[in-house]
Amino acid sequence: MNLLVDDHGRRVRKLRLSLTDRCNLRCHYCMPLDSTFMSEERYLSTDECFEIVSQLCSFGLEELRLTGGEPLLRKSFGEIIEKLARLPLKKIGLTTNGILLDRHFESLKRNRVHHLNVSLDSLDEKTFAKITHGNHLKRVLKNIETARAEGFRIKINVVAMRGVNDHELFDFVDYSRNTGIEVRFLELMRIGFAREEQERQFISAQELIDRLKSETSLIPVARERDSTSFNYRTESGAQVGFIASESKAFCGQCSRWRLSADGIMRACLLKDDGLSIRGQSEAERASLYQTLLGMKPLLRPAEVAHPMNAIGG
Ligand code: SAM
Ligand code: SF4
């Protein structure tokens, strides 16, 4: 097998595939209320997604995560996962805001999408609405509970923001203890629209860890080499993780590429430039991938103007 390995020994093992840049929320750090979106005609078709991921499997791809925008808004979502499920992937995951999960449990299960990352920045209705511009907290919580009962492997993603939701740190720890679901706190990254407020709202993973340690001891949990999070268990049994993309960059171990809904493959979330692989033959794509291997930065770029929902978070 020809593996995709760059000059720094980083092997491409994981792909984030964005299915759409559209969303049914407007998280203030991700997109403005008056966002504009790509025409749906530009989306890679179901067959193109299948062919691209299939070829990447032959180059050693092991894990696929579907994302967006909100991936569950893609009209052909069911058809896409049905095809992708046939590929020899070790793991298929979905990153979602959770609103539409109730419509998809059966097909997610049938098509072995067992790993769900659900974004949930607040457990309080007012704060949730303020961050997301949507009143969907109850539905999201209910869907998470159903997903747990149905046996899905769930992680909650919380973007921690000073003065916005950081007062809920211990509420999330209690939530994890009560539900048995791991909660991961993400540092606010300097991407797209988040750059406007980033400096004021940024709160480091270390500060959150210190706050937690003042009330409970944190027991470190083993992690995979290319994992992006540092994980702990609290005395009470809560599982908490921290993704310190800003303060402790993990570029040296990064194993991910990202494919946007319109077919731009990027070697890094924080790079504007990528290569269009839409309409290319297998041989042309294979050649573009060799170029892309050289486009992955070793040092973390400081920021990127590209909106997060268009790249695929
Ligand atoms: N709509 C889905 C969701 O919210 O889970 C998938 C796409 S969303 C862009 C993926 C993840 O990126 C979410 O957990 C979101 O909170 C996170 N995200 C978006 N912008 C971010 C930023 N500037 N810094 C850190 N995380 C961000
Ligand atoms: Fe939508 Fe996810 Fe962006 Fe929020 S973070 S606006 S849910 S794509």
With the most atoms of ligand 1 within 8 angstroms of its CB, the residue from 35, 74, 77, 95 to mutate is 95
What burial class does residue 76 get, using C-beta atoms within 10 Å of its C-beta: 0-12 exposed, 13-18 middle, 19+ buried? middle
Distance 131 CA to ligand 2 centre (A): 10
Residues 6+ apart with CB under 8 A from 285: 52, 55, 277
Q: Which of 3.20.20.70, 3.40.50.920, 1.10.287.10, 3.30.310.50 is the CATH number of 14-311?
A: 3.20.20.70
Q: Using an 8 Å Cβ cutoff, are 80 and 120 in contact?
A: no
Distance 308 CA to ligand 2 centre (A): 8
Share of the chain above pLDDT 70, in %: 100
Where are the domains positioned within the chain? 14-311
pTM above 0.75, yes or no: yes
Q: What is the mean pLDDT of the segment spanning 299-313? A: 82
DSSP string, 128-178: HHHHHS---HHHHHHHHHHHHHTT-EEEEEEEE-TTTTGGGHHHHHHHHHH
pLDDT-based confidence at residue 228 (cuts at 50, 70, 90): confident
pLDDT at 226 over 90: no
To 5 degrees, how large is the angle CA 151–CA 16–CA 40? 105
* Residue showing tokens 């486009």: 295
| pLDDT per position as a tens digit, 48-102 | 999 999 999 999 999 999 999 999 999 999 999 999 999 999 999 999 999 999 9
Distance 313 CA to ligand 1 centre (A): 5
Share of the chain above pLDDT 90, in %: 84
Which atom of ligand 2 approaches the CA of 159 most closely?
5
| pLDDT per position as a tens digit, 235-293 | 999 999 999 989 988 888 899 999 999 999 999 998 888 999 999 999 999 999 999 99
